[in-house]
Chains A and B, each alone.
Chain A
Amino acid sequence: MTLLILLGVSVFSAILLAFVGDRKFAAELSILSSAVTFIASIFLAIDVYAGGPMLAGGDFFFVDAFNVYLVVLTAFVSTTTAIFSRRYMRFERSHGKVGKAGMRFYHAMFQLFIFAMLLALLTNNVGILWISMELATLSTVLLVSLYRTPSSIEAAWKYFILCGVGIAQALFGTVLLYFAAEKVLGEGSAALLWTNLSQVSGRLEPTVLSLAFVFFMVGYGTKVGLVPLHNWLPDAHAEGPTPISAVLSGLLLNVALYALVRCKVLVDGATHSHRAGYIMMAFGLLSLLVAAFSLLRQKDIKRMFSYSSIEHMGITTFAFGLGGQVATFGALLHMLVHSLTKSAIFFTAGHASQMHGSQDMDRIRGLIKGNPLVGWGMMFGVMAIVGMPPFGVFTSEFLILTATIKDAPFFAPFFLLGLIVAFAALFRKAMPMVFGPVPPHQTALKASHLPVIVHMVLMLALGLYLPGFLSNWFHSAAGLLK
């Protein structure tokens, strides 16, 4: 029942908003729907926390500690983003950047996107996982080109083509997986159910699964934004509306990584080796380094933070590849804190560029004086994302680093180098924007306070104190992924 509400509400509101999305109450409706989804997700989480992993809807849905926390996170960030987009999109509408149809489209697609991600997280069927990932791409493609400017259309096209191609590779991987599974489980849907697959993973054909993993890596890796398949990501983030950048960065990348990790578990089981882990470590480290150095030469604020997303996805992928209790724990925590931090940063970055009428970082100055909330938000956000204590990112990065030094000391210097370069780059770019006098072209703006404050508080709280239920949760999730 909770599941039905969880998935049904966003579909229903997506359909509803397709008709009434341009009305005044549309944003509130969207917030309401996301909030209901969030509450449902909490109930689901409590169920799972109390009763352990469960199947639902026949065996169509599967909920365990790993995905339920991502479900809660997705629902939560979607709620705060819905709150944020109320003021943000109103501003865009009043400045004539979006029309009535655009607003209807925006709200409907936002909810559909949330639905696609929740479905991807909750489904037990690896095929449906693929379909919902594709649906998540398709629903956001036209949101990226919402403003209809040449560069936004170009970004959307790139996003569509690259992710389309990428996800096609993942389908090939799924076919190969089904091929291997069919031998053990027999024909039909049962052979694609994750619960069945993970039970028999030891008997699956290792060569086929290794091959399948290469395709999964390329396919879902494109959506995670791993280098060298990351080209779409900065463009899509920079050119789309900011709330979409926030959910793309904060949620979609997580979900894609979730899909990849699920596949990795199967492959590891079949090959009895760490091969898949090594591939992930290599891609992760490469992404971390390339993104860190790319950060140095960014001019566009949203572009810069999207490179930071690539960097953090690299860290998380690396950590999942490393495996082991500590690294996996760190990776799970990192997914959580990165989502919270990055979406908060995008909220403030969106407001900052609205205030200055530009995303060019050279034009954005004096945020603290102009709008304290945006300024301090940006300040703390950057401090958090570069991994300064006492924020949550510090904890997770520290955990991952310790695990690296212990298990793969050779990689540790590169890992640290990436972190340091990213640290320097982000600080150097962000500080001039935050401090300094107010430039003449800055305009006042009614910022959306609540989402930024909530995210900041959570970030700080997670850095200072990890609640017992959360660490238990991560422990059991990390245990599942062994």
Chain B
Amino acid sequence: MTMNLAAQINGVLAALILLTSFGLLASRRVYGLLHIFAWQGFFLSVSTAVVGYSAGLHHLYISAVLTLALKVFALPYILYVLIHKLKIRKEVEEMVNIPTTLLIGIALVIFSYHLTAPVRELSTLMTRSTLAVALATVMLGLLMMITRKKAITQIIGFLALENGLFFAATSATYGMPLVVELGVALDILIAAFIFGIFFFQIRTSFDSLDLKEMEKLKEED
């Protein structure tokens, strides 16, 4: 595989990751969210593997497999089981309507492009141009956490944000050192478990997973 072709494939994968990020924002169904999230993880994993292959960095394969196992199978499955067990209503509820969120999303993509411009100038890696997409994925995950009401959508936003970080690590530097990457993966796994525990806690004390209920803690005036 030539460098050029690898860079092109990586570009396409980056575009797909960006597309899935917007898909997460646009989706109205919780199961739909899970599917899109799993796809995003899949593209991320393939992209990591492609970069690993073309740059001859074999530790990236470990990251790719880790991503595949965690983000494509384990986490969506755990979330699926949780949704099923807790009988969460299947619609996504939003605080800001979907078209507006998408427009904000576009603005965020432009913003991240602008922000990462200096890095792109300096980098010599074939993946340098995807860094903007990575930052955009982070921002879009953040946007999703802010504009969606349900706990489960916030979590998917959080995980998408983590995907973006992971992608950033691959595209800016061909991945972080393995120790760090393993540690990050471990942290995410723990975070996912805590999320699970939280679901049950929220469920038992609020009778719903809607964060609207969580408005008690405000400043008294």
How far in angstroms is the closest Cβ of chain A from B164?
8
Known A-B contacts A138-B190, A145-B201, A297-B220; the reply to A175 vs B176 at CB < 8 A is yes
**Which of A124-132, A346-354, A404-412 is the interface stretch?**
A124-132
Q: Which of A138, A157, A189, A192 has the most B CB atoms < 10 Å from its CB?
A: A157
Choose among B115, B158, B205 the residue that contacts A148 (Cβ–Cβ < 8 A).
B205
CB pair B216 A151 closer than 8 Å: yes
A interface, over-half SS: helix
How far in angstroms is the closest Cβ of chain B from A287?
16
Interface flag for A47 (CB, 8 Å): no
Q: Give the total of B residues in contact with A, Cβ under 8 Å.
A: 47
Nearest-neighbor residue (CB-CB) of B220 within chain A: A299
CB pair A211 B118 closer than 8 Å: yes
Nearest-neighbor residue (CB-CB) of A298 within chain B: B220
CA A462 – CA B211 in complex, angstroms? 46
CA A148 – CA B198 in complex, angstroms? 10
CB pair A150 B205 closer than 8 Å: yes
CA A174 – CA B180 in complex, angstroms? 10
CB pair A138 B187 closer than 8 Å: yes
CA A211 – CA B119 in complex, angstroms? 9
Chain B residues 158-203 with CB under 8 Å of chain A are 158, 161-162, 165, 168-169, 172-174, 176-177, 179-180, 183-184, 186-187, 190-191, 194, 197-198, 201-202
Choose among A141, A153, A156, A192 the residue that contacts B206 (Cβ–Cβ < 8 A).
A153
CB pair B177 A188 closer than 8 Å: yes
Interface flag for A62 (CB, 8 Å): no
Interface flag for B97 (CB, 8 Å): no
CB pair A153 B198 closer than 8 Å: yes
Residues of chain A contacted by B190 (CB below 8 angstroms): 135, 138
CB pair A138 B194 closer than 8 Å: yes
Residues of chain A contacted by B187 (CB below 8 angstroms): 131, 134-135, 138
Interface flag for A59 (CB, 8 Å): no
CB pair A138 B191 closer than 8 Å: yes
Known: A127-B180, A153-B205. 12 other contacts (CB 8 A): A127-B179, A130-B180, A131-B180, A131-B184, A148-B205, A157-B198, A158-B217, A172-B165, A175-B176, A187-B173, A189-B177, A192-B177
Interface residues of A (CB under 8 A from B): 125, 127-128, 130-131, 134-135, 138, 141-142, 145, 148-151, 153-158, 160-161, 164-165, 168-169, 171-172, 174-176, 178-179, 182-183, 187-189, 191-192, 205, 207-208, 211, 235, 238-239, 294, 297-299
- Of all A-B residue pairs in the complex, the 7 with the closest CB atoms, nearest first, are A127-B180, A131-B183, A207-B118, A154-B214, A189-B177, A179-B172, A150-B205
